[in-house]
Amino acid sequence: MSRKWFSVLALIVTATLLLSLSSCAFNQHLKSINVQPAAISFGGVDPSIYGDLKAFGTYEHPPVTKDITDKVTWQSQLPLVAQVTATGVVSPNQTCGIAGVFATLQDGGNIVVSNTTTITVEGPASQGCPQGGALSNLAVTVGAGGTGTITSSPAGINCGTTCAAQFTTGTTVTLTAVPTSPSTSVAWGNCDTASGTACTVFLQTDRIVSATFQ
């Protein structure tokens, strides 16, 4: 074979490889969407309570998993029970019940649909709901150095002795500190709001609050 044909063959092989690489680079396909977590429970019909959903896409060519939370379209099967934003933030809306939330994304000519996250909204009988069963744990850790006691409203925490309790998810819990001599004040940590001896926590999930008497 002449040198000329060798050169032509080399060009053909090179072009084929480039086309193959180009195809892999620009034709990545979405195979599936996985929404996490699989379930969220809320203890009351309160739109200010929220939870964060994440969407992860599994692709091929090349195989990779990506966070596509802000790229998918989020949908609630029962918007009056659970509403969801464009960024996957889900919250109770107007009534209790069970709703499914899922995500979709168009890939070429196909629409890929995720699994469904189950959203349970419970609440008080006054709202026509069964009594809320979703509970979250609130714990208080007391730093070394000073002395005092901490109580909660609603009742449950009385620390010195009981420094953790469960409350209905979605409850606002107020912690009140009473310094004892020689302590005269308290420094709070991980409250939603803190003022003087009072710490307020809006309990959406398990929470640990710190208190240091001074």
Domain count, the chain: 2
Mark whether 81 and 36 lie in a shared domain: yes
The answer to whether position 192 is within a domain reads: yes
Before 88, cis peptide (omega within 30)?
Answer: no
Same domain, yes or no: 150 and 204:
yes
Q: How far apart are CA 107 and CA 67, in angstroms?
A: 15
pLDDT score of 61? 85
Q: Please check whether residue 5 lies inside any domain of the structure.
A: no
Show which of 126, 156, 174 is a domain's final residue. 126
Mean pLDDT per 10-residue interval, the chain, length 214 residues: 50 49 62 94 85 95 94 94 95 88 92 93 70 78 91 92 85 92 94 93 87 94
- pLDDT at residue 21 in the model: 45
pTM here is 0.53
8 Å CB contact between 146 and 212: yes
CA neighbor of 67 nearest in space, from 49, 88, 51, 84: 88
pLDDT of residue 24: 44
| pLDDT at res. 202 | 83
In a domain, 70, yes or no: yes
SS3 187: strand
Note the pLDDT of residue 151. 95
The range of the structural domain enclosing residue 40 comes to: 29-126
Number of residues in the chain = 214
**pLDDT at residue 22, as a whole number:** 45
What CATH number corresponds to the domain at position 60?
A: 2.60.40.10
Query: Per the domain annotation, does 11 fall within a domain?
Result: no
116 with 47, same domain: the answer is yes
Residues 106 and 40 in one domain: yes
